[in-house]
Chains A and B, each alone.
Chain A
């Protein structure tokens, strides 16, 4: 089935640093979503993107829908300890009600 390649797999950063992660595919997606998962909980939706080139912010988080429709990026500015968790990208194609998920980026923030 379709796969999303998410990178990096893990990141270790210092509090206050900015973070960038991305998700790529070999085919076109028409929806990109970014989720965060804390240990022992379900993923929580952070940002949804619906148009190529769209740039959307949610507090210190900013995500972009790549212009080729084959990638998406998530940036976190001025990281804080509560940003720790696993970040997943997800996408859907055509009129599908199904999502394909990346394998996640595990973020560790050192105080």
Chain B
């Protein structure tokens, strides 16, 4: 257990509304990641963070923004949700001192109607 929690675990929203997903870790790990998982596509990186206020884009970042104002929280925001953003979203971290081994949270299932 890498001490990662995600909230909410499930959300249903309507097209055009803003949505924020939260990833929380308890042990001050530097690297945090947001992925989406869709059938036939596996896991795709949306954004990642390598420190407070230090973030970078992944391969599917359009339509998403992130913020990391403190070490323990990494927020993913859909400014105006679209049906194509219906997906399962996973947060991951790298444990400090362990090279590249990412550990995943339990996921958030988002449905955009």
B103 interfacial contact with A, CB 8 Å: yes
Given the interface pairs A41-B106, A101-B43, A104-B42, the reply to whether A31 lies near B90 with Cβ below 8 Å is: no
Q: Smallest Cβ distance from B108 to chain A, in angstroms? A: 10
Q: Which residues of B contact A35 (CB under 8 A)?
A: 104
Q: Smallest Cβ distance from B95 to chain A, in angstroms? A: 10
Name the prevailing secondary structure of the A interface residues. loop
Among the listed A1, A42, A98, which residue makes an inter-chain contact with B90, where contact means beta carbons less than 8 Å apart?
A42
Name the prevailing secondary structure of the B interface residues. strand
A21 interfacial contact with B, CB 8 Å: no
| Contact yes or no, B104 A42, CB < 8 A | yes
B31 interfacial contact with A, CB 8 Å: yes
Q: Which residues of A contact B44 (CB under 8 A)?
A: 101
Residue of B nearest to A1 (CB): B59
A102 interfacial contact with B, CB 8 Å: yes
**Interface contacts beyond A97-B48, A98-B58: sample of 15 additional A-B pairs, CB < 8 Å, sorted by A:** A31-B100, A42-B104, A42-B105, A42-B106, A45-B103, A50-B99, A90-B43, A90-B102, A97-B31, A97-B94, A99-B45, A101-B43, A103-B40, A103-B42, A104-B42
Give residues in A with beta carbon < 8 Å to B: 1, 31, 33, 35, 40-45, 48, 50, 88, 90, 92, 97-99, 101-104
